[in-house]
């Protein structure tokens, strides 16, 4: 079966006048399967947006092979509009069409696509029902972002690109957004997501790629990234008035021993495994040193 996205040896260099050339993407390989939610994690300037914009057909690449839905976005020629009919894009930030209402904008964009979703249902789905007749300029940052998402999904895309979609969302809106994305996946949409939020990647992604300095450090499931599944558990408690900790592969055994030692409750016991965030930061920091 063919993949939704296939990238081999992707490279992109920005020619700089003052500071010399900057290698934004330095040989990336990845493959996103149909129906998958794939997250790209990485610090600012790691090459996330450049990579995604090449996949979206916004940027040229210097070398490498790219196929999105079997089409090369760097060489669309007369397939341009039929290909764009099959993808949805949520860009990092836009502040356009400020004098139109939410409903006018979503309805208008629905006319661009051959198989659009129902505009009113999309407005409801992104949680803008109460704002449907509000001018865009009156929306808050989070509401505007939800409108961006509405415009990204209105065309029933086969692949949805989301570039840091929940920036500026409050926690409740973020949860609602995650629900929406998982529902899109259930309907068969492939989703490529870049994010700063590790909890977001963990909640949504089937697989994540960590990139830094234009290179992929690892591609894995959120649970297995950086050997997280094999990492030792950390046990802490209060013994003799100060916090003590041990790292172990057998936390249950250790807790049993501690319970026996304290003869009942272990003071302020915690048993944790490294969070995705800790794994991610250690990967980025190793890279930095």
Site residues for other proteins per CB under 8 A: 56-59, 81-82, 84-85, 87, 89, 91, 93-100, 104, 108-109, 111-114, 135, 151, 155
Residue 36 C-beta: closest distance to other proteins, Å? 21
CB of 160 to other proteins, least distance (A): 12
Tokens of 101: 């209402």
Nearer to other proteins, 53 or 200 (CB): 53
By beta-carbon proximity to other proteins, the closer residue of 165 and 222 is: 165
Nearer to other proteins, 76 or 231 (CB): 76
Q: How far apart are CA 203 and CA 179, in angstroms?
A: 10
Of residues 31 and 135, the one with the C-beta less far from other proteins: 135
Report helix angle 102-110 to 141-153, nearest 10.
20
- CB nearer to other proteins: pick between 73 and 127: 73
Minimum distance from CB of 105 to other proteins (Å)? 8
- Closest approach, Cβ 269 to other proteins, in A, equals 51
DSSP per-residue letters across the chain = ---SEEEEEEEEEE--SSS--EEEEEEEEEEE-TT-EEEEE--TTSSHHHHHHHHTTSS--SEEEEEETTB-TT--GGGHHHHHTTEEEE-S-----TTSBHHHHHHHHHTTSSSPPPHHHHHHHTT-GGGTTSBGGGS-HHHHHHHHHHHHHTT--SEEEEESTTTT--HHHHHHHHHHHHHHHHTT-EEEEEES-HHHHHHH-SEEEEEETTEEEEEE-TTTGGGGGGSPEEEEEEETTEEEEEEES-HHHHHHHHHHHHTSPPTT-EEE---HHHHHHHHHHHHH-
Smallest gap from Cβ 288 to other proteins, in A, equals 27
DSSP calls for 27-63: EEEEEE-TT-EEEEE--TTSSHHHHHHHHTTSS--SE
Q: Which residue's CB is nearer to other proteins, number 105 or number 212?
A: 105
Comparison of 60 and 245: residue with beta carbon closer to other proteins: 60
Q: Which is nearer to other proteins, 135 or 234 (CB)?
A: 135
CB of residue 29 vs other proteins: minimum separation in angstroms? 25
């Amino acid at each position: 079966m063919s993949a939704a996205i296939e990238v081999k040896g992707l490279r992109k260099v920005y020619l700089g006048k003052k500071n010399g050339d900057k290698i934004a993407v330095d040989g990336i390989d990845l493959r996103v399967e149909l129906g998958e939610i794939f997250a790209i994690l990485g610090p600012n300037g790691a090459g996330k947006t450049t990579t995604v914009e090449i996949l979206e057909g916004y940027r040229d690449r210097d070398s490498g092979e790219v196929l999105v839905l079997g089409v090369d976005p760097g060489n669309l020629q007369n397939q341009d509009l039929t290909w764009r009919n099959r993808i949805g894009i949520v860009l990092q930030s836009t502040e356009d069409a400020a004098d139109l209402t939410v409903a006018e904008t979503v309805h208008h964009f629905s006319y661009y696509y051959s198989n659009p979703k129902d505009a009113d249902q999309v407005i409801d789905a992104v949680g803008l029902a109460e704002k449907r007749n509000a001018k865009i300029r009156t929306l808050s940052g989070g509401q505007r972002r939800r409108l961006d998402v509405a415009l990204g999904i209105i065309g029933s895309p086969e692949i949805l690109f989301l570039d840091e979609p929940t920036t500026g969302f409050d926690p409740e809106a973020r949860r609602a957004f995650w629900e929406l994305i998982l529902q899109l996946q259930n309907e068969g949409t492939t989703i490529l997501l870049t994010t700063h939020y590790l909890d977001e990647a963990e909640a949504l992604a089937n697989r994540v790629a960590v990139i830094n300095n234009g290179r992929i450090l690892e591609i894995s499931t959120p649970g297995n990234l950086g050997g997280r599944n094999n990492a030792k558990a950390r046990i802490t408690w209060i013994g003799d008035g100060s916090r003590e900790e041990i790292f172990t592969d057998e936390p249950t055994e250790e807790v049993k021993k501690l319970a026996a030692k304290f003869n009942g409750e272990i003071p302020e016991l915690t048993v944790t495994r490294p969070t995705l965030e800790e794994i991610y930061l250690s990967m980025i920091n190793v890279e930095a040193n």
